[in-house]
Every structure is written in structure tokens, then in C-alpha cells.
């Protein structure tokens, strides 16, 4: 049962006049439906949804007020948590709680999600914790809260986060600086002050939401100019992607692309490709810019061509012959969710054939994860998916095998999101 405050807040949020991003995809357009879902597919997706909700209910008391960072190992399905009190992954479990609340109306999930608000404020008040990941952190928490309940405190918190993210924008170079430099590590500082990262395409939704809430144009301009920079420099001519790209901090001129997460600078890290597919499709839906849609499609075509018949990506799409083919279920979850967005937008502009093509691929990837890596049937598993590859190089260099094979909170969140997109849900927190 919603409290009177939540009801009033929800009405306020829904009636608020926003600055529209486009005329093609209005905020409320549920009348434009995707093609009917086959009855068997619907039944299978509903079964996955129910199992996910069961897992969340079972594990919420185990997790408590903590924020999962990574699983303990390939066969040890317990969560490990940040030792310093913060990590960029802190809001993915919160996002799952808000999705569960959205589906069930269960006030426990709302309360559990809001327990993290003081932690989120602490992040904003700690300069060295600020990065491009503010979009992940606050879209899945404060923005989610505001969109679902109309909570004005959540709106204020989300706008503070958007201000902090916009403050990272280099107006001479047209990019958001990925990480914050610290004098405690001058070698790191020298590397990061002109660096952008493919993951950041996902974080632009926070800025576009802030623009729609306030009509302050600089939020929109920072987001779209950064997107154009990623389009120009992170995406290669064959539609593979770099993990990161460096600019000269004095002249803002491009230097070149490289990787920390992928196999090599010239390879294609599969989760980075997934961020691009999902992020540019999301931008197309939000802005109506079909150039972003076509870019997402080309990134998707590259991934699907390289993926193989099992529909679960290797951690890198360009591994040399003889290299161990470690799977990354998180790349599969993000890609599947992005393909559903891509398919939906294509169908809504009348391109049913291409839309159905990408929807079929999204379902194949989703059901491959269900068949091979779903943990919801294990009563002792604290997450949803096994076989997430967080940082394969780190696993080898640091002697930490769970970095190459474990549960990942972002894999779990996007798995949940992909299931709901497959069922036709459109209103999320991006």
C-alpha cells in the first residue's frame, strides 16, 4: 500500500512538464506496441521473471544494507563487498530492488533501496570517488526512486549527481573525463585526466534525465557532445570498439585508443561492445536521433557475427588462436537488453523485419544465459548469473581467479532488465 506522500509525489512526477528530447518517442507511448510475443516465449520469460523475484526475496536479508561487488568464485556463489566502503558497482543491486518494487509494489524493496541514500550522499561528498560512473550509481537509485514514487528528495539527490557528472565535462575536448586524478598516485593521474571510456555511454542518461527535468541545456549538450566524441573515437571503422581513448590534456587533440579490460589495445572487449550497443540504442530511444540507432545496429552486427553459436560472448571478440575462451555472462546480459531496445525502436519506426531480427537474437542470448548460467534455482546462490568475467588480466596478474569467473552485480541487473524488456516493459530508469 503506497503512503499518501508517495501518491502525491507520484502524481507530481507524472504531471510535471518536462523539456522533451524528441517527438518520435514520447515519454508515455504504451499504445505503440511491439509485435505480439509467442505464447510459449511469454511463458518462458514469465518463469525467469518469477525465479528472479524469488531469488531477490530470498537474498535481500542476506545482503542487508551492503552493496555487492563481485562473487567469491566460480563455484562459490556468495557476494564480496567493497573493502573501502565504495565501488562503482554499488547501485546495481539497488536497481534490482527498484525493479522488484516496480513489479510487486512490495514496500520492503523500496525501503531496502532507500537505506542506501546516506551512502549515496557520501559518494557525492567524496571528490575522489566521483567518476563517469555517477550515471550507473544514481540512475538506478535516486532517479529510479523519483520515477516510481515521485520522491522529491530523490530528485534533488539525482540532480546533485547530474551536476557532479556535468562538472566532469571538458568543454574544449567535448568529453567527460572518466576518472578523477589524485596526487597520491601521480602515475595514475597522468593517465586519466584526458581519458574517456566506452562504459560512459551508459551514464549519459542521467544528464538527459536532468535536462528533461530542468530544461537546463548544458546537461543535454554535455551528454550529446560526449556521445558524438565516443562515436568518432571509441568506435572503430569496422564497428568494433576501444575500451578507452586518450586525449592530450593541453590541446584536447586525440592521441589514441587502448584497453585495460580487453585482451589487447587492438582487440574488442565484449562488455565494452555491449555498453555501446545498449547505450547508443538507449540514446536513440531518448533523443529520436536515428544515427545513434544505426550505430547501435552496426555494433550489434559486429558482436553477433563474432559471438559463436552458443550465444554467450567470450570476454573478448578478438582472442588469438589458442587463447582460453573465458565466457562473460555480463556481456551477454547487457547485449541482450540492448538488442531488445534496438528491436523495439526499429519496430516503432516501422522497420519490423530488422526489429524482429534483433529481437530474435536478444531472446537467443537471454535463453542461453538461462540455460547455462542462471543460478536462481540454487537456494544458496546470492546472485542471478554465474560466469561473469570482471577483469581477466587482473585475475591472472593478481592471482584472483574470481575476477575471471564469478557472479557480477551488473550482469544480474541487466539480466533482470533484459527479461522485462523481452516481456514488453519499456519504462526503466535510464
- Average pLDDT per consecutive 10 residues, the chain (430 residues; last block may be shorter): 38 55 61 73 98 98 97 98 93 98 98 98 96 97 98 98 98 95 77 92 98 97 98 98 95 94 97 98 96 98 96 98 97 98 94 96 98 98 98 96 98 98 95
Adjacent-strand bridge partners of 12: none
Distance separating alpha carbons of residues 278 and 335, to the nearest angstrom: 6
Task: Check residue 159 and give its pLDDT.
Answer: 98
Cα 202 from Cα 225, distance rounded (Å): 14
pLDDT the model gives residue 422: 97
Contacts of residue 413, defined as CB under 8 A and 6 or more positions apart, other chains included, come to 92, 93, 95, 96, 99, 140
* Cα separation values, 218 from 202, 206, 247, Å: 18, 13, 22
- Return the pLDDT at 256: 97
Nearest by Cα to 292 from 359, 356, 353, 227: 227
Please say if 199 is a catalytic residue. yes
Q: What is the spatial distance between Cα 249 and Cα 255, in angstroms, rounded to a whole number? A: 10
Give SS3 for 195.
strand
Burial class of residue 405 (count of CB atoms within 10 Å of its CB; 0-12, 13-18, 19+): buried
Q: Compute the Cα dihedral for 175, 178, 179, 185 and give only its sign.
A: negative
Which pLDDT score, from 0 to 100, does residue 23 have? 65
Q: Is 310 a catalytic residue?
A: no
Contact (Cβ atoms closer than 8 angstroms) between residue 177 and residue 193 = yes
Task: Give every CB contact of residue 214 below 8 A, 6+ residues apart in sequence.
Answer: 19, 159
Rounded to 5 degrees, what angle do the CA atoms 252, 256, 258 make? 130
Distance CA 369, CA 363 (A): 10
| DSSP reduced 3-state for 197 | strand
- Distance between CA atoms of 382 and 222, rounded to whole angstroms? 38
In contact, 423 and 42? CB cutoff 8 Å: yes
Which pLDDT score is estimated for 85? 82
* Residue 381 Cα distances to 76, 270, 428, angstroms: 8, 25, 26
Cα gap 352→365, rounded to integer Å: 20
Give, in order, the Cα–Cα distances in Å from 219 to each of 160, 162, 252, 299: 12, 8, 21, 26
Three-state DSSP state, 169:
strand
Whether 170 contacts 164, CB under 8 Å: no
Report the pLDDT value the prediction gives residue 417, as an integer from 0 to 100: 98
What would the DSSP string read from start to end of 334-369?
HHHHHHHHHHHHHHHTT-HHHHHHHHHHHHHHHHHH
d(CA 390, CA 413): 15
| Strand, coil or helix: 315 | coil
Contacts of 81 (CB under 8 A, 6+ apart): 66, 67, 68, 69
Set 199, 316, 328, 344: catalytic member: 199
The reported pLDDT for the residue numbered 84 is 84
pLDDT of residue 1: 38
Catalytic residue among 90, 133, 145, 374: 133
Give me the phi and psi of 176, to 5 degrees please: -90, 125
Return the SS3 of 254. Answer: strand
pLDDT at 37: 87
Q: Which grid coordinates belong to 254?
A: 586525440
Q: Which residues contact 411 (CB under 8 A, 6 or more apart)?
A: 329, 330, 332, 333, 334, 384, 385, 388
Number of H helices, E strands in the chain: 17, 7
Q: Could you write out the DSSP letters of every residue in 318-338?
A: TPPTTS---B-HHHHHHHHHH
| Cell, residue 424 | 514488453
pLDDT of residue 25: 65
Amino acid at each position: 500500500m503506497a503512503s499518501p506522500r508517495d501518491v502525491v509525489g507520484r502524481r507530481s512526477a507524472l504531471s510535471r512538464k518536462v523539456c522533451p528530447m524528441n517527438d518520435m518517442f514520447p515519454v508515455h507511448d504504451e499504445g505503440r506496441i511491439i509485435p505480439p510475443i509467442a505464447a510459449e516465449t511469454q511463458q518462458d520469460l514469465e518463469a525467469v521473471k518469477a525465479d528472479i523475484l524469488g531469488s531477490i526475496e530470498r537474498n535481500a536479508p542476506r545482503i542487508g544494507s551492503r552493496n555487492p561487488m563481485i562473487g567469491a568464485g566460480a563455484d562459490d556463489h556468495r557476494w564480496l563487498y567493497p573493502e573501502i566502503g565504495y565501488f562503482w558497482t554499488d547501485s546495481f543491486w539497488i536497481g534490482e530492488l527498484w525493479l522488484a518494487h516496480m513489479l510487486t509494489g512490495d514496500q520492503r524493496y523500496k525501503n531496502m533501496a532507500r537505506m542506501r541514500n546516506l551512502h549515496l550522499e557520501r559518494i557525492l561528498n567524496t571528490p575522489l570517488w566521483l567518476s563517469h560512473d555517477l550515471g550507473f550509481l544514481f540512475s538506478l537509485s535516486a532517479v529510479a526512486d523519483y520515477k516510481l514514487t515521485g520522491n522529491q528528495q530523490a530528485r534533488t539527490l539525482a540532480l546533485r549527481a547530474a551536476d557532479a557528472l556535468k562538472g566532469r565535462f571538458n568543454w574544449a575536448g567535448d568529453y567527460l573525463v572518466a576518472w578523477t586524478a589524485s596526487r597520491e598516485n601521480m602515475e595514475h593521474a597522468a593517465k586519466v585526466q584526458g581519458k574517456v571510456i566506452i562504459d560512459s555511454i551508459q551514464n549519459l542518461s542521467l544528464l538527459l534525465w536532468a535536462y528533461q527535468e530542468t530544461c537546463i541545456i548544458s546537461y543535454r549538450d554535455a551528454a550529446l557532445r560526449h556521445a558524438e566524441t565516443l562515436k568518432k573515437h571509441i568506435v572503430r571503422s569496422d564497428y568494433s570498439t576501444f575500451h578507452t581513448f586518450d586525449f592530450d590534456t593541453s590541446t584536447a587533440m586525440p592521441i589514441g585508443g587502448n584497453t585495460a579490460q580487453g585482451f589487447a589495445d587492438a582487440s574488442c572487449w565484449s562488455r565494452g561492445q555491449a555498453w555501446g550497443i545498449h547505450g547508443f540504442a538507449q540514446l536513440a530511444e531518448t533523443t529520436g536521433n536515428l544515427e545513434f540507432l544505426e550505430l547501435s545496429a552496426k555494433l550489434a552486427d559486429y558482436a553477433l557475427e563474432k559471438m559463436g553459436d552458443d550465444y554467450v560472448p567470450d570476454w573478448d571478440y578478438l582472442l588469438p588462436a589458442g587463447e582460453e575462451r573465458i565466457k562473460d555472462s555480463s556481456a551477454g546480459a547487457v547485449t541482450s537488453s540492448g538488442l531488445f531496445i534496438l528491436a523495439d525502436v526499429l519496430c516503432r519506426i516501422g522497420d519490423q523485419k530488422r526489429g524482429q531480427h534483433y529481437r530474435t537474437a536478444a531472446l537467443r542470448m537471454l535463453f542461453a544465459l538461462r540455460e547455462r548460467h542462471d543460478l536462481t534455482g540454487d537456494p544458496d546462490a546470492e546472485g542471478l548469473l554465474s560466469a561473469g568475467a570482471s577483469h581477466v588480466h587482473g585475475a591472472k596478474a593478481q592471482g584472483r581467479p574470481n575476477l575471471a569467473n564469478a557472479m557480477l552485480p551488473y550482469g544480474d541487473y541487466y539480466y533482470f532488465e533484459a527479461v522485462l524488456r523481452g516481456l514488453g516493459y519499456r519504462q526503466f530508469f535510464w
